[in-house]
Structure 1
Amino acid sequence: MSLKSFFARQLAKYVVADTRQWASKPVEIQMKWMYKLIQQARNTDFGREHGFEEITNYIDFKKQVPIRDYEGLKFYIERIKEGNANVLWPGKPLYFAKTSGTTSGTKYIPISRESMPYHISGARNMLLHYIYHSGNAGFVDGKMIFLQGSPVLSEVAGIKTGRLSGIVAHYVPGYLQRNRMPSWATNCIEDWEQKVDAIVRETVKEDMRLISGIPPWIQMYFERLLQHTGKSTVGQVFPNFSLLVVGGVAFEPYVKVFEKLIGRQVDVLELYPASEGFIAYQDQPGSSDLLLLLNAGIFYEFIPADRFFEENPPRYHIGQVQTGVNYVLILNTNAGLWGYNIGDTIEFVSTNPYRIRVTGRIKHFISAFGEHVIGSEVEAAIKAAQQHHGGRVNEFTVAPQVAPPEGGLPYHEWWIEFDELPFDLDAFAKTIDQILQEKNVYYRDLIEGKILRPAVVRVLPKNSFNRYMKSIGKLGGQNKLPRLANDRKIADALVELTLQ
């Protein structure tokens, strides 16, 4: 055992013990964060305008702090960008994390001195939990690759600004610098396709043991790697590769694709980082459930998704949630986001400790006919179809077809790019529809009531989704394809691409 592996195991014991301690008193920990955040921000512009001095309990908090999305907080963000301090949080942000919004254009998410350490410790602690439970610390002695955005930062009002993954690249601890790949110069390449090719050339001869990133971009790296080497599996290229770390989108639809690309079993860890804060990670090998980080600078609130669009929807703290309910996740952070709707929906699968699954996006759903189909439902349907009928799905998206050009009843249109076609495409589509009916009673009623016809599957050529993302300037980095849309913007763009 190397010295580095030995110390990793010792640190893992400490982190797991600390996690068990705060996880054993979830409400107490979360209420401490609520009071701490209020106390620290009481003299900011936002704190004075929202009566933080008058807040003594959670009921007061809900009265004083409204729910907002980015557009609702944009006024305050713009004031910070103009050079003002003490707006949402004391002083000025340490960084702005730039993200792409679907309705807000580019978003500038503040990261403070207080919040930055939690962005780093989240990923570190996930790996330490893995070491503790699996006993596998060998990956720390080999090379690790993190497919991420460029670490080159610009400035806005004197505040360093860039992608979250690029910001985090500046905080890789010294003891991992020799293990970390790609090189700084390669990481700074802006064009994603050029960057992936450079990463392949740089890593192909290395002892890669841990590979991390967003699934579609890891897939592109793996495919380019196999093209470059002529090997049939990634496992042949990297014999000591043992750990895959993924986040950003649901991994389930990629499982079969990655099994074929890698050629053997490797452990997979899922995490839930966001520019707004590090929210959850998989703390148990073999389970994709994510431990909600209750002691990491965030006071969480939860709104039942089926009531979110009411004028005054109910808001709950951690002690009031139930398993099996779809909630919209609301954040209050030590970077100055207050009542912030991050846009994600989650479901609790355990309350001792609090573990979650990400079920989708509150804005990414189909309800053109009142069905309100969500991400976890379509992902369950595509998984079942692959299990029953073979095939490997590379990527997919679903949109309503309200006025079919061929006439007849409207339907849900599934645009799927396969790595390998199923044995029977008609049966594949039928299973998708059956599972969706089982998961969503409203959808079933529409099918049985002859309001909708069963789902229609459209097969796309290889690389169609990459071409689409490239056409809108969002290929690579942290950009993700929406799996669901309540309009036909993506679907119609795919039609145009297939005609070219």
Structure 2
Amino acid sequence: MAILGSIIKGIIDLQGVFSSEVNHIEAQQTVLKDLLNKAKNTQFGKHYNFEAILNADNIEKAFADAVPYFDYDQINDAWWHKLHDGETDVTWPGELSYFALSSGTTGKTSKRIPVTDDMVDAIRSSGIKQVLSLNNFDFPADFFEKEIMMLGSSTDLEENNEFLEGEISGISASNIPFWFKGYYKPGENIAKIDDWDDRVQRIAERAKDWDIGALSGIPSWIELMLQKVIDYHNLNNIHEIWPNLTVYTSGGVAFGPYEKSFHALMGKPVTVIDTYLASEGYLATQVRPETDAMQLNTEQGIYFEFVPFKPEYINPDGSLSQDAPVVTLSDVELNQDYVLIISTVSGAWRYLIGDTIEFTDVERAEIKITGRTKFFLNTVGSQLSVNKMDAAMKGLEAHFKTKITEYTICAKRGEDDEFYHFWYIGADNENLNEEEVAEALDNLLKEANKNYKVARSKALHGVKVKIINPEMFHEWNAENKKKGGQVKMERVMGEDKFETWENFIEKN
């Protein structure tokens, strides 16, 4: 009998019995007060008079009225740059330990996002919440004795001006609790290998030594790792070497586009649990098996605000107009895309993280990520969000009986000077008829989005599709950013970037 697993499962079950339902609105009000109290004597807190905000009758409204929206460039240029010069008490009290490096989907240049000890604690607390929520999934006791493969960026953080720098997954993995290290794979030595291909090669070589019960990481890189292990050991599927693999914790991007290709690597069903860990914090996690929506971590050092996602509120560079209206958790509605705004224990204030979300359950504070503000395609009124594009890819997979793991799109004029949507689609069947795929894609988008349908009857002339090997997307990321970790493919490109992309594809 799995004695240790039974003990751990018993603790989780008891925690579930004795924990009460969170009132998320009250939790958020408490978090905001705590943030303002702790930061009121910082340079930022004094500049925006946090003391006065705390004394207001309506603290949430006073906060929104006093403090402007910031994207990364705005807050870095005005405030965070001081941290690099060794200043303290800038936007959060005390000295700083880490910077999270995030090139995200925008290019080679890394953002340097402060990560405080308070944020490390908040991420750990949210991780514990995720573990405790496993009580809802009714896994057998022996699952809790299996090892967990966490595939992120290197944990060998770089030292830069007395700070340690790396991607958030590497920072988090380097701060795992001592009691967890026995479960954690690939282990500290392999996790420190900076070169992605070398690290995955070592994982493949050691795979037989481990009894993996759970995986965690960005879908595209998890798939590549699993395929490497399968090829190295000449397997039919990953369960032939890891028979007890039960759970995959996905994060970083929406899992939907990878669902079919991921399950094709499995020998039996695996439970997929979505998480939302960004460089700026651990924002949400799935806590129930009956939904793939994620619950906002409303108690752990992050205060959330929501701007209705409408084209008139978004500037051409993807930033927010300062007159865009905002609502708090108490006033959100279903069936509405929102731009997500966060204030955190790392000293981010009314910060545009760049994602759009919608609520699936307001009382439970459960959300789905619907896209990126910079990936919203509104050329000639088409108003396509990433979730609509993802849904169209799933429709193509079903119609053409193929697997599609990556895609990118650009709206631009064709040779006839008319506007088209140009799609590059990474499919496992490169012999698909591109004109048939374009017609099917066009019809799927017309059915899914009335604005797209109107645009197609007017200024948007058509859809053009090129089918390419999915590996080309990985090689693009490797050349322009870095393999593994938090690196994601940009779904929508501007014309200049798209020209570079097309030249890359042509060359390769």
Q: How do 1:4-403 and structure 2 match up within 5 A?
A: 4-13=4-13, 15-16=15-16, 20-22=20-22, 25-55=23-53, 56=56, 57-74=59-76, 75-100=78-103, 102=106, 105-306=109-310, 307-309=312-314, 310-400=321-411, 402-403=412-413
Gaps of 5+ in 2: 315-320
Distance in 2, matches of 1:356 and 1:487, equals: 32
Kindly state the Cα deviation for residue 375 of structure 1 after the two structures are TM-superposed. Answer: 0.7
User: Which residue of 448, 468, 471 maps to 1:460?
Assistant: 468
Distance in 2, matches of 1:46 and 1:93, equals: 15
Kindly state the Cα deviation for residue 341 of structure 1 after the two structures are TM-superposed. Answer: 0.5
Say if 2:480 is the partner of 1:472.
yes
| 1:48–1:190 CA distance, 2 compared to 1 (3 A) | same
Question: Residues 304-342 of structure 1, C-alpha deviation per residue, up to 9 Å, x if partnerless?
Answer: 110533450111110011011100000011121111000
User: Which residue of 405, 413, 434 maps to 2:443?
Assistant: 434
Task: Answer whether contact 2:149 2:215 (CA < 8 A) is retained.
Answer: yes
Task: Answer whether contact 1:271 1:290 (CA < 8 A) is retained.
Answer: yes
Q: Select between 33-42 and 469-478 the one with higher mean Cα deviation.
A: 469-478
Task: Answer whether contact 2:99 2:165 (CA < 8 A) is retained.
Answer: yes
Kindly, what percent of the aligned residue pairs are identical? 28
Task: Answer whether contact 1:257 1:419 (CA < 8 A) is retained.
Answer: no
Query: RMSD across aligned C-alpha pairs, in angstroms?
Result: 2.1
Q: Select between 424-433 and 207-216 the one with higher mean Cα deviation.
A: 424-433
Map of 2:495 onto structure 1: 487
Distance in 2, matches of 1:471 and 1:135, equals: 41
Task: Answer whether contact 2:207 2:241 (CA < 8 A) is retained.
Answer: no
Indicate the SS of the match to 2:21. Answer: helix
Task: Answer whether contact 2:284 2:295 (CA < 8 A) is retained.
Answer: yes
Indicate the SS of the match to 2:44. Answer: helix
Q: Select between 459-468 and 129-138 the one with higher mean Cα deviation.
A: 129-138
What code does the residue aligned with 2:187 have? S
Indicate the SS of the match to 1:146. Answer: strand
Distance in 1, matches of 2:6 and 2:490, equals: 42
Distance in 1, matches of 2:16 and 2:491, equals: 35
Q: TM-score, normalised by structure 1?
A: 0.94
User: Which residue of 389, 404, 412 maps to 2:414?
Assistant: 404
Distance in 1, matches of 2:498 and 2:241, equals: 36
Distance in 2, matches of 1:154 and 1:494, equals: 34
Kindly state the Cα deviation for residue 15 of structure 1 after the two structures are TM-superposed. Answer: 4.6
What code does the residue aligned with 1:11 have? I
Kindly state the Cα deviation for residue 29 of structure 1 after the two structures are TM-superposed. Answer: 1.4
What code does the residue aligned with 1:89 have? W
Q: Select between 278-287 and 483-492 the one with higher mean Cα deviation.
A: 483-492
Task: Answer whether contact 2:108 2:480 (CA < 8 A) is retained.
Answer: no
Task: Answer whether contact 1:386 1:428 (CA < 8 A) is retained.
Answer: no
Distance in 2, matches of 1:253 and 1:13, equals: 33
| 1:280–1:200 CA distance, 2 compared to 1 (3 A) | same
Task: Answer whether contact 1:346 1:356 (CA < 8 A) is retained.
Answer: yes
What code does the residue aligned with 1:308 have? Y
Q: Select between 362-371 and 488-497 the one with higher mean Cα deviation.
A: 488-497
Q: TM-score, normalised by structure 2?
A: 0.92
Kindly state the Cα deviation for residue 237 of structure 1 after the two structures are TM-superposed. Answer: 2.1
Indicate the SS of the match to 2:371. Answer: strand
Kindly state the Cα deviation for residue 239 of structure 1 after the two structures are TM-superposed. Answer: 1.3
Q: Select between 134-143 and 355-364 the one with higher mean Cα deviation.
A: 134-143
Give the number of equivalent residue pairs. 495
Distance in 1, matches of 2:226 and 2:108, equals: 33
Indicate the SS of the match to 2:342. Answer: strand
Kindly state the Cα deviation for residue 468 of structure 1 after the two structures are TM-superposed. Answer: 0.9
| 1:491–1:427 CA distance, 2 compared to 1 (3 A) | same
